[in-house]
């Protein structure tokens, strides 16, 4: 049962397993018949065990984690989850077709090449079919480290509510996400020859023509800066825009407007997000466990390693709108 397992610092150091995965192996959710406990993961059950409330009107203060040596070991995972939540709040999930995990500091992605013969070619009986090739990238993709040193002395934060402290950590993660988005935009636009508008003014007709230029893939997302998104939303034709319950803005022809400050105000990027971009991560957000369980006596680092690979070049186009 969750209230009898031994929590040790070594659970953070198991090869091939995160702390949460190590806890889940010791306390599998499948073992619980009670619905409330089964819906929690192993970490959440440990919070229940030590009566640590991390959100809501009755949220505890930071020092609740340090009521015992075992409960203190839960604090780094609390920090990691808060930063990870912020990291996932940006647009990466809207523009990546797949997420891979690499063990090293670099790896090779895959590339789809269709050759010179298009998919509309009809093959005669007995004839050779046109070829498409799936190969590795010509050079390794280096995973870049995005991180921050968080200086939060224990005495300064011990009386802060956990939901407020988590909000600050999510803000750190969200700002890191902006930097990661920058790497994604660089990968998407690298080597792409931007198209020019037909006319001299960026309007709905130019946007629709850009969408129509996708022949082998579907442009189901437009990635643009906040300023350009504002221009698009001001088009009269966008009165037919579909606004979903999640706040997503979709053009009349079905492409979602994805806003990222990593994109310049002089271009828009059209992608088929089902096959354009692969996000390669070096695992979860990493936190400095020793410093966090020693009551934040020193600044503690949080970091994530990430890189990007374009899967299909025909799934990405760029339009100059300046």
Q: How many CB atoms lie within 10 A of CB 125?
A: 4
CA distance 137 to 135: 7
CA distance 222 to 211: 9
Q: What string of DSSP letters covers 35-51?
A: HHHHHS-HHHHHHHHTT
Q: How many CB atoms lie within 10 A of CB 238?
A: 17
Write the CA distances from 321 to 99, 198, 271, 281, integer angstroms. Answer: 31, 10, 16, 32
DSSP 234: H
Q: pLDDT value at position 204?
A: 95
CA atoms within 13 A on the CB side of 217: 21
- Are β-strands 277-281 and 300-310 bridged in parallel, bridged antiparallel, or unpaired? antiparallel
**Tokens 């929690």 sit on residue:** 40
Helix (H) or strand (E) holding 189: helix 162-189
Helix (H) or strand (E) holding 180: helix 162-189
218 contacts: CB under 8 Å, gap ≥ 6: 272, 274
Q: pLDDT value at position 156?
A: 85
CA distance 187 to 221: 16
**Tokens 């003014």 sit on residue:** 201
Helix (H) or strand (E) holding 72: helix 69-72
Terminal-to-terminal C-alpha distance of the chain: 62
Task: Look up the pTM and report it.
Answer: 0.85
Instruction: Pick the closest to residue 247 from 235, 259, 265 (CA basis).
Output: 259
Exposed, middle or buried, 75 (CB in 10 Å: 0-12/13-18/19+)? buried
Q: pLDDT value at position 178?
A: 92
Q: pLDDT value at position 293?
A: 83
Q: pLDDT value at position 246?
A: 63
> In tens digits, what is the pLDDT along the chain, a chain of 322 residues?
888 999 999 999 887 789 999 999 999 988 888 888 888 999 999 999 999 999 989 999 999 999 999 999 999 999 999 999 999 888 999 999 999 888 877 788 888 887 777 777 787 787 788 888 888 888 888 899 999 998 888 888 889 999 999 999 999 999 999 999 999 999 999 989 999 999 889 999 999 999 999 988 999 999 999 999 999 999 998 886 656 556 688 999 999 999 999 999 999 999 999 999 999 998 889 898 888 888 766 788 999 999 999 999 999 999 999 8
């Amino acid at each position: 049962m969750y209230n009898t397992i031994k929590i040790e610092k070594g659970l953070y150091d198991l090869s091939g397993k995160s702390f949460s995965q190590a806890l889940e192996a010791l306390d599998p959710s499948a073992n619980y018949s009670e619905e409330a406990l089964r819906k929690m993961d192993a970490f959440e059950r440990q919070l229940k065990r030590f009566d640590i409330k991390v959100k809501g009107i009755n949220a505890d203060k930071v020092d609740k984690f340090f009521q015992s040596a075992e409960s203190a070991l839960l604090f780094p995972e609390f920090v990691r989850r808060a930063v990870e939540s912020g990291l996932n709040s940006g647009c990466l999930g809207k523009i990546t077709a797949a997420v891979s995990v690499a063990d090293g500091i670099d790896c090779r992605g895959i590339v789809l090449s269709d050759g010179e013969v298009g998919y509309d070619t009809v093959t005669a009986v007995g004839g050779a079919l046109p070829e498409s090739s799936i190969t590795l990238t010509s050079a390794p993709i280096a995973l870049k480290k995005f991180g921050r040193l968080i200086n939060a002395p224990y005495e300064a934060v011990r009386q802060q509510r956990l939901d407020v402290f988590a909000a600050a950590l999510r803000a750190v993660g969200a700002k890191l996400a902006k930097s990661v988005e920058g790497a994604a935009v660089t990968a998407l636009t690298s080597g792409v020859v931007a198209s020019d508008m037909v006319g001299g003014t960026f309007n709905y007709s130019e946007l629709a023509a850009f969408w129509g230029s996708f022949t082998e893939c579907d442009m189901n997302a437009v990635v643009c800066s906040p300023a350009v998104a504002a221009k698009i939303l001001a088009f009269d034709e966008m009165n037919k825009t579909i606004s979903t319950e999640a706040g997503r803005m979709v053009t009349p022809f079905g492409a979602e407007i994805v806003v990222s400050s990593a994109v310049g105000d002089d271009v828009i990027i059209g992608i088929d997000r089902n096959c354009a971009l692969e996000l390669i991560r070096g695992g979860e957000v990493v936190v400095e466990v020793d410093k966090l369980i020693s009551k934040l006596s020193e600044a503690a680092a949080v970091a994530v390693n990430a890189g990007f690979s374009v899967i299909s070049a025909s799934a990405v186009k760029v339009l100059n709108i300046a």
